[in-house]
Structure 1
Amino acid sequence: MVAADPLSITLDPEKAALLARLADGLAPEQLYWVAAWSAARAGQTERSTGRIDAPAGTAQAPRLTILYGSQTGNARRLAEQLAARSESDGLPARLVRADAYGLRELARETHLLIVISTQGEGEPPDDARGFVEFVVGKRAPRMPGLHYAVLGLGDSSYPQFCAIGRQLDARLAELGASRLAPLGEADVDIDQVAIPWSAKALGQAREALGRTRSVTRNATVHTLPARSTHSREHPFAATVLGNQRIVSRESERAVHHLELSLKGSGLRYAPGDAIGIWPVNPPALVEQFLHALRLDGADEVTHDGRTLPLARWLGRERELTRLTRAFVAAHAAASGHADLMRVLRKENAASFAELLASHQPIDLLHRYRAVWRAEELVAALRPLTPRLYSIASSPRAVGEEEVHLTVARVEYEAFGMPHWGAASAFLSATEDAAVVPVFIETNDRFRLPADDRRDIIMIGPGTGVAPFRAFVQDRHETGARGRNWLLFGNRHFTRDFLYQVEWQEALKAGALHRLDLAFSRDGARKVYVQDRLREQGRELYAWLEGGAHLYVCGDATHMAKDVHATLLDIAIAHGGHSPDTAREWLTDLLTQGRYARDVY
């Protein structure tokens, strides 16, 4: 018997052929986007009708759902890998982004794997806010028939490590669901936890669903070739075309505009995406480590089956600028210092958070002296990870084989020593023809409106303005009919007005319709972008009620929170909302994709 074409089961021949033509030639990540969009439309149908009926004569078999919430792309990438492995192992899986998941489906779900990151001070990623609020809230149903597993992603250099993953794991158990696998908590060296967790979770799901590895071996959705062989694991060596300082010499922080060549890479990007950079640690910082510990950089060190000179481990393989709990614990044990041991205790969480925020690993080596062997040091330091930068160009304006980024060099004095940021020091020092290892990190939640008649409001202080340079370029090139409003802030008008000439030219050309500025150190009173928002609250609310999309890019710790709070105040002052309905209004904008944030 020949199996029926799955499209013919639910679609008439004309629509099935149309959908097949649409899918033809799409890369895997594009197919996943289509799947997520379709799921979102299904969720909207469910919310309006209360149910989704299966086609007549069919029964819904138990299935595995893989749900992800991702801010920077790591959780999405892992979920995609999990879905591909599940399919290739004979277990069909549905991959869905958290904001495209119909919340009423949760009561009917039987097998669910969740991959979710934690942001900042224990917050969910933007695309999972609604899902997390529903699960932890009073409206969440009892789920005795659900089998689940949660993989949390986090960064142990932040106090609230994997807090959202822990919260969801505990709450689902509280609601009566059963674990397929224990909670996984992955640090930035994700694979150490993610690989064994995935094997365990998928094995248990396969056993629970009664599938074997040979059932649907050929049913994998990963049959189309990727558009480029280059990725996070296999970066492209991009040539530096230009590196220009774009603030005055008097500015407190150097900001550089870099232009890189993607020629021959096959990499493609869209406005809103990020570029991943694999940095090299500052040579002076490597020397600080070697000198402080009296180690020889030429000594060969073997770790995880690889043998490299210690200087190579420290320069290109290990994280030297970010402090982690694991390193603090290892150095406390090596030094035996009571103060350092004390700060690790649970009751001293505030002191530990302050230590992480104010110290780099080198500071601990100087402050709490200890003897380290080279092998122990390499094992204690976590692997170097790439940094993501919002792309500051539109391929329509600069060409598909070129990409721009905006980099603020991190360099400061502390504890009597110079300190640097790894990627910013590396990038800002590059010269023409230098090579930078790069990859593209897509960000489907930070996209221009599909309807070019929609207005857009862009809030980007400092280097947070980078993606909005790409937005304005792209809207100008496509002749978009909607208005563009930019709110930019920095310290000083004369020193720190990033891309000033370009914005002025965009205003003259009609590519930018409104520009509001906030320079915090130029007056007797500090003024920030959220102050400008408040001043223009009535008009901003009118734009949003008229269908505008709102974008925020920049600092997550302070700016993004202050902007969010200001938006709530504006809804109350100019929309007649109560505090509760203002929160619902803003959450609805997030859910619609009309309030998007690229914060870090």
Structure 2
Amino acid sequence: MTTSEFPGSALTPEQVRLVEELSRSLDPMQARWISGYFAGFDAGLRRPLSQPASSAAAADARSLTILYGTETGNAAGLALALEQAAQAAGLACKRIDMADYKVRQLGQEQDLLVIVSTYGEGDPPQPATGFFEFIEGRKAPKLEGVRFAVLALGDSTYEYFCQAGKRLDQRFEELGAQRLAGRVDCDVDYEEPAAAWTGAIVAQLAAETREASAAVPASAAAPMTQAAVPLFDKRNPFPARILDNIPIVGRGSSKETRHIEFSLEGSDLRYEPGDALGIAASNDPQLVAALLDALALSADTEFEHRGQKLALGEALTHRFEITAATPRFLDYWALISEAGALRQLQQEDRAGERSVFLRTHHIIDIVRRYPVSPVMPQGFVSALRPLQPRLYSLASSLASVSDEAHLTVAPLRYELHGETRCGVASCLLADRAEPDSELPVYIQSNAHFRLPGDDTPIVMIGAGTGVAPYRAFLQEREARGAGGKSWLFFGERNFRTDFLYQTEWQGWLKDGTLGRMDVAFSRDGQDKVYVQHRMREQARDLFAWLEEGAHVYVCGDASNLAPDVHQALIDVVAQEAHTGREAAEDYVRSLQADHRYQRDVY
């Protein structure tokens, strides 16, 4: 390319060289982001420099708010990228977590960009529940003067895919707001569609700013800022050496739980108690071999993917999800197999049956049940999702174990169609992560699961591997010499075999770092006893701690533990405050709003 190929010979040869160098280094997501950046930059350059800012132009400038709701941090990361792109394009904006948003100002917003994930079966992220209750309630204001756009994150293996984003999109419309753009629904491989949405919306708003604020001098534009990018992150994980990988349950346990230690030396990775370690997992080689056999394809078969030649075996091992079946894969396999049963599942009125089928059939089960020959490798991988990292709550504090990261992992193993199946990352960690081997890792921040001040009481509630972050909490408090009271409710199956980190809790009880501990071992007695039962038994003291300002933390299973503990907390408040259920629910809701009730559930 030469300068003559640009309209008006806009670039010098040196600029052309720089542009070409940059373009060769960009992946699709970066290219889309930078297109939005330059669209906005163009808007700033086109403003007349000779005219002073006028009050009319200032009045025409619309406020821009980026609002996000997140459970694991993905929506927060996208909101930050959107803010940076908007600022780089000269757009003034503010970025706010739904958990911290003052809902009464919703009616005063003008342009609102919303990024929200869906949790479980169609629910909003736990920190965003207060915002959803307000906007879907009768007190929500009319929003005739508001424009909005929604980016929804979800997982297509769930029946209510992106439901939280769909709920907000519909509710904004019901309240009279106008769409800046149609809602975009993203699956777990959200990076590219999210980047495209960001680039398009920033370009649109920047163009409008150019038209509405033509009299504003370029010097009045918001400064372009760029946050520091960590050397190692989700896109570029650190190869961490495994220091130790040991079982922490006793002989005869009905469960398998392991303690795994990673070295972060040389990575400059830093984390806080409550954060998670992301593992860039790979698929089990035995599963890859079985899938290739079912497809009658060779591991050495090459195919083209995004301008690269890849070997199919390597791609199925390291690049693509090959376990969970998705609607995308169902559509593809129904097309090439022409199987009537699969085509019936595609019908709109079969959503429930389709969801059950996808939960009970892995990709290999569908391939075996409805065989196709031949299968084109490129077409097959186009129906797969990129292999996503897995997050594990950190069981350590850097204040105690410098340059290390500890995990507590229970491998997922179960039977399906007569075969033992395994969790992608948990079985990688349990079965193939030998000491001195390396795994790619990064830190996922979790701002919604943080220790309070050193003097504030804390109540920690968890079962099984959900106890991991509390080990980090107490390591941190011990290192800091924190004086705040602490109370742990811990549940597992059997006292003799499953008392995870027993000697450490006992040591902290002895030196006062841990003030109280109540345990529930569900299979030691005739009746099953869980942590919520212990909470009710200690209702008087537990409520007294709440009244003293204690922060409550819940970590563990989302389908059972979290709702059971939530209900127990409401019951404790109702009983001890001598109030009705509605008032008790309001009390617990206020704990959430004040960030005194935080959950890390999965």
Interval containing the TM-score (normalised by the shorter chain): 0.7 to 0.9
After TM superposition, give the deviation of residue 216 of structure 1 in Å: 6.3
- Residues 595 and 363 of structure 1, relative CA distance in 2, 3 Å threshold: same
SS at 1:84's partner residue?
A: helix
Q: Are 1:225 and 2:206 matched, yes or no?
A: no
**1:348 paired to 2:364:** no
Distance 1:520 1:344 in 2: 42
- In 2, Cα distance between equivalents of 1:157 and 1:216: 49
Task: Provide the residue aligned with 2:443 in structure 1.
Answer: 440
Does 2:267 match 1:265?
yes
**Cα 1:359/1:568, change in 2 over 3 Å:** farther
In structure 1, C-alpha distance between the alignment counterparts of 2:599 and 2:224, rounded to whole Å? 30
Q: What is the match of residue 96 of structure 1?
A: 96
Number of the residue aligned with 1:361 = 363
Pairwise CA distance, 1:59 = 8.3
**Residue 414 of structure 1: how far off its partner (Å):** 1.9
CA RMSD of superposed structures (Å): 2.0
**What is the aligned partner in structure 2 of residue 30 from structure 1?**
none
Q: CA deviation at 1:364?
A: 2.0
1:137 paired to 2:140: no
1:418-462 per-position Cα deviation (integer Å, ceiling 9, x unaligned): 21111112122211211111111111111000x222111111101
Partner of 2:596: 594
Give the C-alpha shift of residue 508 in structure 1.
1.5
Higher mean alpha-carbon deviation, 491-500 vs 155-164, is at: 491-500
Letter in 2 for 1:427: L
Deviations 1:107-143 (A, max 9, x none): 1100110000000011111221111111111111111
Q: Distance in 1 between matches of 2:565 and 2:429?
A: 30
Q: In structure 1, what is the equivalent of residue 181 of structure 2?
A: 181
Question: In the TM superposition, what is the alpha-carbon distance from 1:273 to its structure 2 partner?
Answer: 0.6
Aligned pairs for 1:313-328 (under 5 A) are 313-328=315-330
Partner of 1:430: 433
1:35-50 equivalent positions in 2, closer than 5 A: none
Closer, same or farther in 2 for the Cα pair 1:357/1:574, shift >3 Å? farther
Structure 2 match to 1:162? 162
* Residue 395 (structure 1) aligns with: 398
In structure 2, do the counterparts of structure 1 residues 211 and 419 end up closer, same or farther at CA, with 3 Å as the change threshold? farther
> Aligned partners of 2:170, 2:424: CA distance in 1, in Å?
36
Q: Mark the CA change 1:537 to 1:329 in structure 2 (over 3 Å): closer, same or farther.
A: farther
How far apart in 2 are the matches of 1:205 and 1:315? 42
CA distance in 1, matches of 2:372, 2:251: 40
Q: Distance in 2 between matches of 1:578 and 1:356?
A: 42
1:240 is aligned to 2:254: no
Task: Name the CA shift for 1:436/1:87 in 2 (closer, same or farther; >3 Å).
Answer: same
Correspondence 1:463 to 2:431: no
Say if 1:90 and 1:216, in contact at 8 Å, map to a contact too: no
Rounded Cα–Cα distance in structure 2 between residues aligned with 1:252 and 1:349: 36
Distance 1:87 1:500 in 2: 50
User: What SS does the aligned partner of 1:83 have?
Assistant: helix
Partner Cα distance (2:512, 2:224) in 1: 44
**Alignment identity in percent?**
44
Q: What is the deviation of 1:315?
A: 0.3
Relative to 1, partners in 2 of residues 1:82 and 1:520: Cα closer, same or farther, differing over 3 Å?
same
Which moved further from structure 2: 64-73 or 193-202? 193-202
* Contact 1:551-1:597 at 8 Å conserved across structures: yes
State the partner residue of 2:334: 332
Decide whether the 8 Å contact of 2:91 with 2:221 is kept in 1. Answer: no
**Residue deviations 1:325-377 (CA, integer Å, cap 9, x gap):** 21122223333333333334343333333333333222222233334322122
Could you tell me how far apart the structure 2 residues matched to 1:221 and 1:441 are? Answer: 26
Distance 1:160 1:494, change over 3 A: same
Question: What is the CA deviation profile of residues 510-547 of structure 1, one whole-angstrom value per residue up to 9, with x for unaligned ones?
Answer: 12111111222222222221222222222212211210
Partner of 2:551: 549
Residue 110 of structure 2 corresponds to 110
Contact 1:300/1:307 (8 A) holds in 2 = yes
Does structure 2 retain, via aligned residues, the 8 Å contact 1:90–1:211?
Answer: no
Q: Which residue, out of 504, 518, 525, partners 1:516?
A: 518
The residue type paired with residue 353 of structure 1 is S
Q: 1:119 to 1:364 in 2, by over 3 A?
A: same
Are residue 196 (structure 1) and residue 196 (structure 2) matched? yes
2-side partners of 1:397 and 1:587: how far apart? 34
Question: Does the residue aligned with 2:141 lie in a helix, a strand or coil?
Answer: coil
Contact 1:64/1:205 (CA < 8 Å) preserved in 2?
no
Instruction: Give distance in 2, aligned partners of 1:196 and 1:319.
Output: 23
- Whether 2:126 is the aligned partner of 1:126: answer yes
Secondary structure of 1:518's aligned partner: strand
Report whether the alignment pairs 1:537 with 2:539. Answer: yes
Separation of aligned partners in 2, 1:168 and 1:216: 37
Change over 3 Å in CA distance of 1:579–1:343 after alignment to 2? farther
The answer as to 2:365 corresponding to 1:380 is no
Aligned pairs for 1:31-110 (under 5 A) are 62-110=62-110
Q: Give, in whole Å, the separation in 2 of the partners of 1:60 and 1:386.
A: 44
CA distance in 1 between counterparts of 2:188 and 2:439 reads: 21
Check conservation: 2:117, 2:125, Cα contact below 8 A.
yes
Letter paired with 1:332: A
Matched to 1:478, the amino acid is: R
How many residues in Structure 1 have an aligned counterpart in Structure 2?
540
- SS of the equivalent of 1:105 reads helix
After TM superposition, the structure 1 stretch with the greater mean CA deviation from structure 2, 282-291 or 297-306, is 297-306
264-273 or 245-254, which deviates more: 245-254
Distance 2:213 2:73 in 1: 30
Q: Does structure 2 conserve the Cα–Cα contact (< 8 Å) formed by 1:84 and 1:220?
A: no
* Residue 576 (structure 2) pairs with residue 566 (structure 1): no
* Shift of residue 94, structure 1, vs aligned partner: 0.8
**Equivalent of 2:577 in 575, 578, 583:** 575
Matched residue type, 2:393: S
TM-score (structure 1 length as normaliser): 0.86
Q: Kindly indicate whether the alpha-carbon contact (under 8 Å) linking 1:88 and 1:217 is maintained by their aligned counterparts in 2.
A: no
Q: Deviations over 1:238-278 (max 9, x none)?
A: 11111111113433332111111111111110101111110
Q: Report the counterpart of residue 54 of structure 1 in structure 2.
A: none
Deviates more, 1:366-375 or 1:583-592: 366-375
Kindly name which structure, 1 or 2, has the bigger radius of gyration based on alpha carbons: 2
Relative to the length of structure 2, the TM-score reads: 0.86
Look up the match of 1:52.
none
Q: Is the 8 Å Cα contact of residues 60 and 213 (structure 2) preserved in structure 1?
A: no
Q: Which residue of 2 aligns with 1:505?
A: 507
Give the distance between the partners of 2:588 and 2:494, measured in 1 at CA: 31
Residue 482 of structure 2 aligns with which residue?
Answer: 480
**Structure 1 position 410 matched with structure 2 position 399:** no
Letter of the 1:365 counterpart: V
Closer, same or farther: CA 199–382 of 1 in aligned 2, 3 Å: same
What's the CA shift for 1:217? 9.6
Partner of 1:420: 422
- Secondary structure of the 2:399 match is helix
Preserved CA contact (<8 Å) 1:327 1:380: yes
CA distance in 1, matches of 2:393, 2:408: 8
1:172-228 CA deviation, whole Å, 9 max, x = no partner? 1111111001001010110232122112222332344436899469844634534x3
Q: Conserved in 2, the CA contact under 8 Å of 1:153 and 1:185?
A: yes
Q: CA deviation at 1:467?
A: 0.4
Look up the equivalent residue of 2:433 and give its one-letter code.
Answer: T
Tell me which residue corresponds to 1:279. Answer: 281
Q: 1:253 to 1:481 in 2, by over 3 A?
A: same
Alignment partner of 1:250: what SS?
coil
